[in-house]
Amino acid sequence: MTRICIFGAGAIGGYLAAALDTAGADVSLVARGPHLDSIRTDGLRFEKDGAITTHHLQASNMPTELGPQDIVFLAVKAHGIPSVVDDLKPLLHADTIIVPAVNGLPWWYFHCAGTGTSLDEQPLLSVDPQSRIWNEIGPQRAIGCVVYPACDIAAPGHVRHLDGDRFSLGEPSGEKSERVRALSALMIEGGLKAPVRPRIRDEIWIKLWGNCSFNPISALTGATLDAIGNDPETRQLAAEIMQEVQAIGEAAGARFGVSIEKRIAGATAIVGHKPSTRQDIEAGRPLEIDPILSAVLELADRLEIDAPALSRITGLLKLQAETLGLYSRG
């Protein structure tokens, strides 16, 4: 039986845990606070389409209690990963796979990337400031993952599915390895969509388009996706940021298979929704600025590409988040 630990059993982590438990994996959780207490007492309750299933799983705030795993899903915020490197080590054996289910550019991005630039086989300092993840965990363990579902925590121990069921997977090398095919099959067995992509980085950049444009605009204004897309000035700003992000991504080897207008139209069609960055502000949670915005600007700097619109909106968002106590420039 495959041993899988979900490190960070919040909304998305809880969804993964429920699905993988349904698939027959030996699932354990790293959680904390009232959420952990409730899972230990009553099990993890997962709600989808009005039906609730209960999953009795080993859960702890001490990874040493869980032992080595075959697969570890990192379902914490990307900016939090450097601080949990030591906590991850007890979960690893020689062949443990790490699946970062996070937003933004992942720390393993330039492993086996083959961009032909000086960035190949180098860590991203915006998300791995001291290169600890790269050096002590290792990019060779990573399988890429792009997360699309939306979930929330309805109450401690109770994860509620809102929308989506796709987790795209891909090896950094692009190969359809035995390990990524096995992981995909297990996730599909649990009711998820888990396509294996030969160019997972392209999908990361398509999602980043929205993360770098609609997210900060919404965070600063409080506007929903449809309001941003229907306002001529914010729509134009989003398009300018997307043009800059596309130039950076293409310089790093990515391919953009849809047009900017189509991407904007897709976001605008989602009525009444505020992106996660705005939701974090309203909930008083720390913001994911560095893995999404700072990492792209790091690439722009290292590849000598101008990105004035992205730079300005990132500066505004950082100041707002610092003022609210939700971000520190370190």
What residues are annotated to the active site? Answer: 207
Alpha carbon distance 79, 82 (integer Å) = 7
Alpha carbon distance 53, 304 (integer Å) = 51
Question: DSSP letters of 160-195?
Answer: EEEE--BEEEE-TT----HHHHHHHHHHHHTT-B-P
Q: Which helix (H) or strand (E) holds 101?
A: none
CB 202 within 8 A of CB 256: yes
Question: 53 to each of 17, 49, 56, how far by Cα in Å?
Answer: 12, 11, 10
Length of the chain: 330
Question: What's the angle, vertex CA 193, arms to CA 191 and CA 199, rounded to 5?
Answer: 155
Residue closest to 247 by CA, chosen among 178, 199, 196, 297: 297
Q: Report the b/e string of 162-190 with b at 16+ CB within 10 A.
A: eeeeebbbbbbebeeeeebeebbebbeeb
Amino acid at 233: E
